[in-house]
């Protein structure tokens, strides 16, 4: 780690929690990283370093210096990624399930970023995420836009931020909705206890998903889901909260998903539509369901 990236200040109102646990519960820092920060004395309580087992007290002032991680050199790695569209400014790819979008612990050179660096001449000074405009979960398949330079990334990121893009997914879900079309508007934030998960919570960020049932039986259904916002795990959280968790989702779903032949959440980004900010042209891209989801639909008799 090299240098300080940011400083976080916390004032404790309710005490009697371990220092590392309190930091994880009140920031976006993971429990393991919080433990490391405390051990390496990047955390001060009332100006003094404390052990990770220290129980915070009401009135404590916590200052966290978050160090800047060393940035590894990105390696271009050739992968079999389908290119749907390619122009000077960006490309649209069909991401397979099982591949992480950008480098993270345990995934240094087997990501979409590594594959795109091998496929295109990407000129972007973003250290770990060159060309990445938006993300899909590791086990979600489907359409993604990749920018080829910094300016294109900034322009396309604004399209997403301004919600000037139609993003639609196909999902296989458990349950039988009473309505064939419905909207879910529930705020999403970090889970209260598990920092790797998200949940519906009153103080979360505004999130909206539109659901249309395409096929169903008494146990499951195939849905087209449009997301009007782009929160982490949005579809998985919204559908689980509504009582219709995604088939195959062992994080937000039912235990019965463990028995399915599909070993991931049954979620596929199948449609992206927007006006090109570079040419003014209407752009519409679609991707068919992958084989594992087709087989799941047949197996569930949808």
Which are the catalytic amino acids? 137
CA distances to 29, 127, 229 from 161, rounded to whole Å, are: 24, 21, 9
Which tokens hold the place of 57?
A: 């007290």
Which tokens hold the place of 55?
A: 């129980």
Residue 291 half-sphere exposure toward CB, CA atoms < 13 A? 1
Residue 201 half-sphere exposure toward CB, CA atoms < 13 A? 11
Distance CA 2, CA 67 (A): 6
Sheet holding 61-67, edge to edge: 4-11, 61-67, 43-45
Phi, psi of 291 (to 5 degrees): -60, -40
Beta bridge partners of 11: 61
């Amino acid at each position: 780690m090299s240098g300080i990236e940011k400083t976080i200040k916390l004032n404790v109102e309710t005490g009697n929690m371990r220092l590392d646990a309190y930091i994880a519960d009140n920031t976006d820092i993971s429990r393991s990283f919080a433990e490391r920060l405390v051990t390496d004395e990047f955390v001060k309580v009332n100006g003094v370093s404390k052990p990770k087992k220290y129980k915070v007290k009401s009135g404590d002032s916590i200052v966290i210096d978050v160090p800047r991680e060393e940035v590894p050199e990105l390696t271009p790695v050739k992968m079999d990624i389908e290119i749907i569209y390619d122009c000077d400014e960006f490309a649209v790819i069909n991401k397979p399930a099982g591949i992480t979008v950008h480098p993270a612990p345990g995934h240094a050179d087997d990501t979409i970023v590594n594959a795109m660096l091998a496929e295109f001449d990407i000129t972007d000074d973003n250290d770990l995420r060159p060309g990445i405009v938006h993300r899909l979960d590791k086990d979600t398949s489907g359409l993604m836009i990749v920018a080829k330079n910094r300016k294109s990334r900034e322009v396309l990121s604004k399209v997403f931020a301004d919600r000037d893009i139609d993003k639609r997914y196909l999902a296989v879900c458990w349950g039988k909705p009473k309505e064939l079309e419905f909207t879910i508007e529930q705020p999403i934030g970090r889970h209260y206890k598990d920092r790797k998960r998200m949940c519906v919570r009153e103080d979360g960020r505004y999130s909206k998903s539109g659901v249309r049932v395409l096929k169903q039986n008494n146990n499951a259904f195939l849905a087209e889901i449009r997301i009007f916002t782009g929160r982490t795990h949005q579809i998985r959280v919204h559908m689980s909260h509504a009582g219709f968790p995604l088939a195959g989702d062992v994080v937000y779903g039912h235990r019965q998903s463990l028995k399915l032949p599909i070993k991931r959440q049954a979620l596929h980004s199948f449609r992206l539509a927007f006006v090109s900010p570079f040419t003014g042209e209407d752009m519409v891209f679609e991707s068919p369901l992958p084989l594992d989801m087709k087989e799941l639909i047949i197996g569930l008799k949808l």
